[in-house]
Chain A
Amino acid sequence: MATEMPNDDQAIRARFHIVYGEFSLAADLTLPGRGVTALFGHSGSGKTTLLRAIAGLERHPGAYLEVNGEVWQDGERFLPTHRRPLGYVFQEASLFPHLSVEANLDFGRKRLAAAERRVDLAQAVELLGIGHLLARRPDKLSGGERQRVAIARALLASPRLLLMDEPLAALDGKRKAEILPYLTRLREELDIPVLYVTHSPDEVARLADHLVLLDNGQVAASGHLAETLARLDLPTAVSDDAGVVVEGLVAGHDAAYHLLALDFPGGRVQVAHGPESPGKRLRFQVRARDVSLSLSERDDSSILNRVPATVAAIADADTPAHVLVRLEAGGTPLLARITRRSRDQLQLQPGKSVWAQIKAVALLA
């Protein structure tokens, strides 16, 4: 199922079968032992249940859990939560109201042996921009500040696995926007595997490396983000804003036209943006409805970004008038949403070479 099969000791293996009355969850997952894995699904799909089980907050007999070579739970063994080297960020910050921000940050850290401390206070404080809040009480913080403190607190417990349960769900759009950059930095700067529960496609697109789709207690898909988003057999594809996320490297900046060039395995795209340092990794999103196809490279159109690709598969889209075409552009999957009529006119079928014309590229940063 997973395209990039992680090697043995760099993986999280989780096998749970959970039944709560009407609800049941069956998960048998092998997840990469690094980067961000998003557990994505609607409410009631079982994603929080799975996260709590992984944290040991709920005890389920017969489960198996191994994190980067360490078994946390199997038939005989059950490490209680406080013995699992993890960090957990709840939907509501859940700071201790009787302690100052600094004492909250210190709560997990001071319970570690000195040798186990791998994140220091200054680093966490700087990473989340909470230096000015240390002396305050949690009730004197805004919702966004509280959540940043909660994330720092979890990091300071030097987790070998960071679990985040919809950390942005309780915040309004503005606060979300305030925290997202911190989460992006976290992903880039710390080498801690993260399991990130969310029902927001935007958060998935920005943060995830690996995607697990949960649907009604079942694992509908688990795989590399770009691969999984481009799968035509999943409900994610059959929607108006279906699309893929691609990671590119900054190649250069055209100051005269105010365009940033990004290289990715399938070619180069240019996007309206200010300069960034060359070689930096940036994500961009390409929606299926923004991709049109032609049989030759047309340089007489206003569309700036054109990449050669091969048709990999074709499937029905959300309306009878459209189809979804899955493309391969130098190993990078792309999706195009075109009319059924265009498909027939161009005689598209798997294996055919085409040019993908990308009308819009959204930079995720």
Chain B
Amino acid sequence: MPFGPDDWNAVLLTLKLAGTTTLLLLLFGTPIAWWLARTRSWLKGPVGAAVALPLVLPPTVLGFYLLVTLGPNGPIGQLTQSLGLGLLPFTFPGLVLASVLYSMPFVVQPLQQAFESLGERPLEAAATLRASPWDTFFSVALPLARPGFVTATILGFAHTVGEFGVVLMIGGNIPEKTRVVSVQIYDHVEALEYTQAHWLAGGMLVFSFLVLLALYGSKARSRHGY
């Protein structure tokens, strides 16, 4: 059997990481995207640029700064220690934090676009029908932005699954904690275990293709909807 227990663990860990990350990003990314889509503040530019940074930065830059800031001498490391949380590098929560930062633009940007494409009108119409801004957000904006949420969820999940550089830099390759599929593949290749590498790498290839297929398929469908 070319698929060992280590490989399964890596797969499960990867799914858990991607799931947790996506959930957190939808939770925190939605208000950020909403704010970005609607604000007229001068901060829109800087915040938008910061969210988009992982698109252009090499993962090594993010990994390096995470290693330094989350470490015992870094500001966040000192904060987590003083809160009794210990240090985040080499832990699953540490990977989640890194993935949230790394996958942020893949969730926030589709949501922002979806919110922007709503325009003012449905929100104004809701206001003239006695709906408060919160009410409007949940009863009008969220349902109308549904295609954006589908895209954001799929891209956020898939991109986290595909993450490698940052994990390699702050993960420490610990089985069941930080050894995700991409790292496991890397180890197999480095150790010349090409058969196992093929199983995992092929699996990733098929998975990624199916994800994108689902995404583009749903886009094509939603174009014919509403």
Q: Is B125's CB under 8 angstroms from A96's CB?
A: yes
Q: Is B128's CB under 8 angstroms from A111's CB?
A: no
B140: A residues at CB distance < 8 A:
96
A98 at the interface (CB under 8 A from B): yes
B125: A residues at CB distance < 8 A:
88, 90, 94-96
A81 at the interface (CB under 8 A from B): yes
Rounded to whole angstroms, the CA-CA distance of A163 and B127 in the bound complex is: 13
Q: Decide yes or no: A57 and B121 within 8 Å by CB, A97-B144, A97-B226, A111-B135 being known contacts.
A: no
B131: A residues at CB distance < 8 A:
82, 107-108, 111
Rounded to whole angstroms, the CA-CA distance of A88 and B129 in the bound complex is: 8
A36: B residues at CB distance < 8 A:
none
B121: A residues at CB distance < 8 A:
90, 92, 94
Q: Is the interface of B mostly helix, strand, loop or mixed?
A: helix
Q: Is B129's CB under 8 angstroms from A98's CB?
A: no
Shortest B2–chain A CB gap in Å is 48
Rounded to whole angstroms, the CA-CA distance of A81 and B139 in the bound complex is: 17
Q: Is B128's CB under 8 angstroms from A107's CB?
A: no
Over the window 127-168 of chain B, the binary record of Cβ atoms lying under 8 Å from chain A Cβ atoms (1 yes, 0 no) is: 111111101100110011010000000000000000000000
Identify which of A81, A97, A139 contacts B127 (C-beta below 8 A).
A81
B87 at the interface (CB under 8 A from A): no
Q: Among A56, A94, A157, which residue has the most Cβ atoms of chain B within 10 A?
A: A94
A96: B residues at CB distance < 8 A:
122, 125-126, 140, 144
Q: Is B130's CB under 8 angstroms from A82's CB?
A: yes
Q: Is A55's CB under 8 angstroms from B129's CB?
A: no
Q: Among A86, A107, A112, which residue has the most Cβ atoms of chain B within 10 A?
A: A107
Q: Is A111's CB under 8 angstroms from B129's CB?
A: yes
Over the window 79-122 of chain A, the binary record of Cβ atoms lying under 8 Å from chain B Cβ atoms (1 yes, 0 no) is: 01111001110101011111000000001100110000000000
Rounded to whole angstroms, the CA-CA distance of A55 and B123 in the bound complex is: 13
B226: A residues at CB distance < 8 A:
97-98, 139
Question: CB within 8 Å of A: which of B17-45?
Answer: none
A287 at the interface (CB under 8 A from B): no
- A84 (CB) vs chain B CBs: closest residue: B128
A154: B residues at CB distance < 8 A:
128-129
Question: CB within 8 Å of B: which of A171-201?
Answer: none
A81: B residues at CB distance < 8 A:
124, 127-128
Shortest B147–chain A CB gap in Å is 11
A153 at the interface (CB under 8 A from B): yes
Shortest B26–chain A CB gap in Å is 19
- A87 (CB) vs chain B CBs: closest residue: B128
Shortest B139–chain A CB gap in Å is 8
Question: CB within 8 Å of B: which of A101-148?
Answer: 107-108, 111-112, 139
Q: Is B144's CB under 8 angstroms from A107's CB?
A: no
Q: Decide yes or no: A88 and B128 within 8 Å by CB, A94-B121, A94-B122, A111-B135 being known contacts.
A: yes
24 contacts between A and B (CB under 8 A): A80-B127, A81-B127, A82-B126, A82-B132, A86-B128, A87-B128, A88-B124, A88-B125, A92-B121, A94-B124, A94-B125, A96-B140, A98-B143, A98-B144, A98-B226, A107-B131, A107-B139, A108-B128, A108-B130, A111-B129, A111-B131, A112-B130, A154-B128, A154-B129
- Chain B interfacial positions (CB closer than 8 Å to A): 121-122, 124-133, 135-136, 139-140, 143-144, 146, 226
Apart from A87-B128, A95-B125, 17 more pairs, CB < 8 Å: A55-B128, A57-B127, A81-B128, A82-B126, A82-B131, A82-B135, A82-B136, A88-B125, A94-B122, A96-B125, A107-B129, A108-B129, A108-B131, A111-B135, A112-B130, A154-B129, A157-B128
